[in-house]
Amino acid sequence: MAFKFIAILLLEIITFATLVWGENGLAIKSIQSEDGDVIDCIDIFKQPALYHPALKNHKIQMTPSYNTMVETTKTNDQEKSYKCVTTQIWHKSGSCPKGTIPIRRTQNIKKDQIKKPNHFHLDKGLKIKKDIKLTQKNHSVNPRVYGDRQTRLFTYWTNDGSRETGCFDLTCPGFVQISHEIALGAAIYPISTQYGLPYSITIYIYKDFNTSNWWLQYGGSINIGYWPSKIFEGGLEVHAETVQWGGEVYSKNVGKHPHTKTQMGSGVFPFYIFASTGFMKYMRILDNTMELRFPQNVVAYSEEYDCYRTQYVGDYIEEPEFHFGGPGRNPLCP
């Protein structure tokens, strides 16, 4: 999978309560997806974010202050090598009208389920750190949270590095959504296979310098919504200081013996020539001059090299790439 990420954020979780919109009468329309999900179309002015104490009387910012649509120049070979993921499975069954936002219906989730899922793999967008830590991740397989092994587009934020808090998608107040097209937490398709055509997805997270809100953009054209600046009580209202791209596996057996069998990416170690595992391309950051530029001082690292690896390719190609993945438990990682 290919991603483009541009900035990050960490927010404060207020509650772990999950609102079942379709059952309490707030849904204007409900869509039964072929994959089993139910998508409720909720009035944009009745969305979860507005229940956040810091957002009392918040006026929703309907559009960013300036044009931030991401455009990338690709060679013919690059165009042939991958396609863009631009839809979600529920789109096959219907759409939400303008003036609403799509919310994936969930069952009530216990606090420990959100904090400590049994195991999962995700392709991580960025981790931006300032005075507080924020993690925002955008593509994962997480059976404990979503109840299946589908690949889903999701967001996650926390105010303490997930030690005590953590919230997926819209399961707690915070993220303000404006798009009626994208449902956070919903499955995406098609997805890459190890020996098939790789598919890519473009994600862009950027700060609106006029409002200090952190916007999330999908596919190079759809502004999904934003994390309001009022939620940040320090640090990220000004700027981020670290951006990270990569993958992550969570399991209670990570770092232990025997190690978890949970794979990262396609489950193979990265090898640039074959490009058969997870990868990131067109990595950019938005600086205070409003210029998108390649980040300086890029360093690749892996916390468990024998289980999962990273590979940064930037010295001999025009557009640097970052590859990552691994099988988890294997003869080198017992």
pLDDT digits (tens, 9 = 90+) for 210-255: 998 989 998 888 999 998 888 776 667 777 778 888 888 888 898 8
First to last CA, the chain: 27
Spell out a b/e string for 291-324, using b for 16 or more CB atoms within 10 Å of the CB, else e.
Answer: ebeeeeeeebebeeeebbbbbbbeeeeeebbbbb
Count of C-beta atoms within a 10 Å radius of residue 69: 12
3-state secondary structure of 295: coil
Tell me if the pTM is above 0.85: no
Among positive and negative, which fits the CA dihedral 58, 61, 17, 121? Answer: negative
8 A C-beta contact, residue 124 and residue 243: no
Mean pLDDT over the full length of the chain: 77
In angstroms, the CA 149 to CA 171 distance is 19
Q: Which residue has the higher pLDDT, 134 or 178?
A: 178
Q: Which of 2, 185, 186, 169 is nearest to 88 (CA)?
A: 186
- The tokens for 294 are 């390649």
What pLDDT, in 10s, does the model give residues 73-111? Answer: 444 444 444 556 668 999 999 999 999 999 999 866 443
β-bridge mates for residue 110, sequence order: none
Q: Which whole-number Å values give the CA distances from 255 to 143, 161, 263, 312, 334, in the listed order?
A: 21, 18, 14, 24, 10
In angstroms, the CA 189 to CA 143 distance is 17
Q: What is the pLDDT of residue 76?
A: 45
pLDDT at 38 over 90: yes
3-state secondary structure of 200: strand
Percent of the chain past pLDDT 90, that is, above it, reads 30
Return the amino acid letter for 178. Answer: I
Q: Could you tell me how far CA 177 lies from the centroid of its own chain? A: 14
